[in-house]
Amino acid sequence: MSRADERPGLPGADFEEAAAVARLRRVSVRKVAGRLLLNAILALVCAAWTLPTLGLLVTSFRDPDMVSRSGWWSAAKDPKGLSLDNYRTVLAGQDWSYVDSSGKTVKLRGENMLGAFGNSLAVTVPSVLIPILVAAFAAYGFAWLKFPGRKMLFVGIVALLAVPLQIALIPILRDYQKAGLNGSFLGVWLAHTGFGLPLATYLFYNYISTLPRSILESAFIDGASHYTCFTRLILPLAMPALASFAIFQFLWVWNDLLVALVFLSGGGRAMEVLTQRLLALAGTRGQDWHLLTAGAFVSMLLPLAVFFGLQKHFVRGLLAGSVKG
């Protein structure tokens, strides 16, 4: 176009200009079409990723008869068939009864998901907090205390980062059987602590060792001990690293099946966590989709809440944990 501007009087300039405009328009039409296509494909991908979960959610509210008679996508035709009854059945522990629409009293056995929810909490909270505590102490020790074998030990921790936990199942199970730890919360906490510690120590060391040394020195001048310095100064400062690991470990432990199956099964049905309970439900009620979907959703509730509530930290935590074996 600039060429055409330079030679305004020459014949053909108008034509050239028009051609350039047409070319530009063609490019922009193609651009818009391309963008539309891109967004359409992206929307399709999102649908493919979301529909399975949506189907679960919708089915969990539907009437058992409806669930077996039609697909969940037709639930909108009959919004009256939606209720919380399925949740009542899966959450309840004992038999419970209700009066149905024809006035009959129906008795049902609950699936005790609520009890499993409590067990999952009892397993997860200490399995997240204990490794954080132990690893934070260790990271402080490695970063700021001098002792023989310091480097060797830390190299050992790095080597353990990718060791698969399968390696530990049989020896630890035998130790537990001897010590009476099999089927106890303590046994599962210690196992999750052991399997999570290399990652936690490694992450916290990387963070704590970069904090400025001057903070520490001024604290020592004021007469603080290493312990006070750690609990009062370093722990609060290391919060971002602790939080990242906490989210990763929370998801890991909450969603874990293998460790619970191996070390908690000895405790019987009363100690089952959500993943175990859901698995048992799938075994005994494999075709009762209304209960299975409600149970699955109960097990996903807390992780999804964390996902939506703390999305940024959630992603950061998962990325930090990706080196774990």
Partner 1 sequence: MNGNKAAKPGAPGRWIARVAPALAAPILALAALWAGFALIKEGWISGGFAPAFAAVWGVAGAALLFFVANWSVERLGPKVRARALPFVFVGPAILVMAWYLAAPTVRTLALSFFDASSRGFAGLDNYAYVFSDRTMRIAFINNLAWLVFGTGFSVLSGLVIAIMADRSRFERVAKSLVFLPMAISFVGAGVIWRFVYAYRPEGDAQVGLLNALVTAAGGAPVNWIVERPWNTLFLIVIFVWLQTGFAMVVLSAAIKGVPGELLEAARIDGASELRVVRSVLIPSILPSIVTVATTTLLLTLKVFDIVYAMTNGLYGTEVLASQQYKQMFKFLHYGRGSAIAIVILVAVTPMIWYNLRQFNKREAFS
- Cβ pair 89, 291 in contact under 8 A: yes
Element (DSSP H or E) covering residue 226: helix 226-228
- Cβ pair 268, 116 in contact under 8 A: no
Q: How far is the CB of 191 from partner 1 (least distance, A)?
A: 7
In the complex with partner 1, the residue whose CB is nearer, 4 or 265, is 265
Those residues whose C-beta lies under 8 Å from the C-beta of residue 11, and which sit 6 or more positions away, are none
Among 75, 91, 138, 241, the residue binding partner 1 under the rule CB under 8 A is 138
| Chain residues 207-226 in contact with partner 1, contact rule CB under 8 A | 209, 223, 225-226
Among 320, 293, 316, CA closest to 86:
293
Q: How far is the CB of 318 from partner 1 (least distance, A)?
A: 6
Q: How far is the CA of 115 from the CAs of 55, 110, 121, 190, 266, in angstroms?
A: 26, 11, 10, 22, 17
Site map 141..170 versus partner 1, x via CB under 8 A: xx--xxx--xx-xxxxxxxxxxxxxxxxxx
Strands 95-99 and 105-109: antiparallel
Q: How far is the CB of 83 from partner 1 (least distance, A)?
A: 18
| Chain residues 184-203 in contact with partner 1, contact rule CB under 8 A | 184-186, 189-191, 193-195, 197-198, 201
Q: How far is the CB of 178 from partner 1 (least distance, A)?
A: 13
Q: Is 237 in the site for partner 1 (CB under 8 A)?
A: no
Site map 44..63 versus partner 1, x via CB under 8 A: -xx--xxxxx-xx--x----
Site map 3..32 versus partner 1, x via CB under 8 A: ------------------------------
| Chain residues 91-110 in contact with partner 1, contact rule CB under 8 A | none
- Cβ pair 324, 249 in contact under 8 A: no
Residue 119 to residue 112: CA distance in whole angstroms? 11
